Structure 1
Amino acid sequence: MKADACAVPSASGSTRNRWRRRQCWCRLCQYLGGGSGTVNICFPSEHVVTTGEVRWHDSVADSGNAMKRGFCPTCGTPLFSLAESRSHLTFIRAGALDDPALLGPQAIIWTDAAPAWAHHDPDLPHYPAQIPPVA
């Protein structure tokens, strides 16, 4: 699994059964997604590798967690984020991958922060805010 950005993230296929995929509508993800929510794929950090330079932006998420958000300094593509509260996990942006259609969301989080026009798949679980972290 790799991205078509200048600083390419990839994750080991051996972790496939542990992937958690969530569409997030927190305000910061809306900024990253150009107004829409983002689909983020959770991987154990030790299985994530990048090529090329990554720049970091520090912020605080709607949950209150300190976040580091990695992006490609050449093309500006948002690549992934790291939460201080879950440093063992890396959240790769599905939109940075070569084929994001392969990895649709399994749940939708921060629905209370979504704009009124947002469409939420009725077949997926919805959560008004952050849900407990994956192990």
Structure 2
Amino acid sequence: MPHQGGCLCGAVRFEITADPIGARYCWCRDCQRIASGMATMNVLFPSEAVAYSGEMTTMRLVADSGNTVERGFCSQCGSQMYSKTVIGPQQPMRVRAGTLDDPEICPPSLIIWGPSAPSWAPFPEGMPVLQAGPGSPEWRRPETLQEKL
């Protein structure tokens, strides 16, 4: 079953021909900046299964993980569409959950970069929190961060 979505103004649309691999919150500082102070909520898909149409602007930067990450935005309304690692360990494409026509397809099950979150950040009770993200030495080391729950 294909999944579809688009930006706020409708200038960018996409279709995904695979089911989600998973979903997670990201509290890295880059995501906080592009999400106006909150975490991004990302649904993970195989990169080759995602096809965008419409005019997008991209930017690349080296993330806290050391990976080079590309982010895609609608050129008209600025909606964040995706992020993907272009240099670093191979990873799925991160599609912003809010851009999916059906954001219910895959609820988040994990929080990454938890210690980077501000003290007031809402953490769902019982959700695993990792200290870092893919490509970082701390990637597989869970942390409870009970003071944030």
Aligned partners of 1:111 and 1:44: how far apart in 2?
24
Query: 1:58 and 2:69 equivalent?
Result: no
Runs of 5+ consecutive residues of structure 2 not aligned to the other structure? 140-149
Aligned partners of 2:40 and 2:91: how far apart in 1?
21
Give the 3-state SS of the residue equivalent to 1:76 in structure 2: coil
Q: What is the RMSD of the two structures over their aligned residues, measured on CA atoms? A: 1.8
State, as a whole percentage, how many aligned pairs show the same letter: 36
Which of residues 63, 74, 77 is equivalent to 1:75?
Answer: 77
TM-score by length of 1: 0.86
Q: CA deviation at 1:41?
A: 1.3
Q: CA deviation at 1:86?
A: 4.2
Q: Is the 8 A contact 1:4 1:98 kept in 2?
A: yes
- Tell which structure's C-alpha radius of gyration is larger: 2
Q: State which drifts further: 95-104 or 60-69.
A: 95-104
TM-score by length of 2: 0.79
Query: 1:124 and 2:127 equivalent?
Result: yes
Residues paired across the two proteins, number: 130
Q: How does 1:19-34 map to 2 (within 5 A)?
A: 19-34=21-36
The structure whose residues are more often helix, as a share, is 1
Q: CA deviation at 1:123?
A: 2.5
Hey, what does 1:100 align to over in structure 2? 103
Runs of 5+ consecutive residues of structure 1 not aligned to the other structure? none
